[in-house]
Amino acid sequence: LPRALPARPPRRRLVSAASAESGAASASASAAHGFEYDLFVIGAGSGGVRASRIAAGYGAKVAVAEEMFMGGTCVNVGCVPKKLFVYGSHTRHDVEDARAFGWNVTIDEKEPVDFARLVANKDVEIKRLNGIYDGMMARAGVEVIRGRAKIIGKNQVEINGKEITANKILVAVGGWPFVPDIEGKDLVMTSNEAFYLDKVPEKIVIVGGGYIAVEFAGIFSGYGSHVTQIYRGDLFLRGFDDDCRTFLRDEMIKQGVDLRFDTDVAAIAKRDDGRLDVTLKDGSVIEADKVSFGRRDEGRGKWMRD
């Protein structure tokens, strides 16, 4: 091996949107097409933020609309908090391993998990990341407009009752939880609410066979819930490697997850004791404290004109 790695080529520095050069370029471009913005982005998630910053860095006049939180699903109710929950759910295994290595560590079995503390600590970290995103957008010179934007015509967007024009409009609305129209749908929660529970449910039903559903099944099982996962197909994670799918199925069963394939939820009813009866299309009934559904992409016309 060489004694030293070759020097990396310098990264190309994007023009700062806050600089005079960028401002002049932006003003010139805006004047050329006659719209208020060169680029208007709907959604400040991972894709929208990145596109906004890069465009602004090349001198474009950019605005981004966001009705909820900076960073979108990934930062707030997706990848980031999910990783924290996954790490936490594995702690019991880590403690068991630590004992084998001689550590005198134990878990208080009377109250093994303070889930509210986990959620509070997660919220602190997410708030920190939200601030980082706000700072990145400000330094890039991107204007952030809080509110729900809707395309009302060619080169036209409406937000907070105001019409805005832009040469280009980028739709980066990401995903949102989806609950099918079934009896008792008002009794369920989604992957969003799963990150804000005050305690671990004793029994939870997770509906779906995508990786989000599989991850939550593992998370709640690790934290001590009795988990039932329901999927209408013959095996979850459709499109993934078949060997991985079958291996994961077998390992989840070993961990005590009740997997129900080739069926779906028909109805949900609340019992007198507050628990839920989940009736499946195969006629079986499952008792649960919580029922959780997953997500689908949001780009299905809700941001378009009525």
What confidence tens digit (pLDDT) does each residue in 241-273 have? 999 999 999 999 999 999 999 999 999 999 999
Q: What is the pTM of this model?
A: 0.85
Can you tell me whether residue 121 is helix, strand or coil?
helix
Q: How many CB atoms lie within 10 A of CB 273?
A: 6
How many CA atoms lie within 13 Å of 249's alpha carbon, on the beta-carbon side?
19
pLDDT tens track for 76-116? 999 999 999 999 999 999 999 999 999 999 999 899 999 99
Is residue 63 within 8 Å of residue 142, measured between CB atoms?
yes
74: three-class secondary structure by DSSP: helix
Tens of pLDDT, residue by residue over 117-164, are 999 999 999 999 999 999 999 999 999 999 999 999 999 999 999 999
236 with 250: CB under 8 angstroms? no
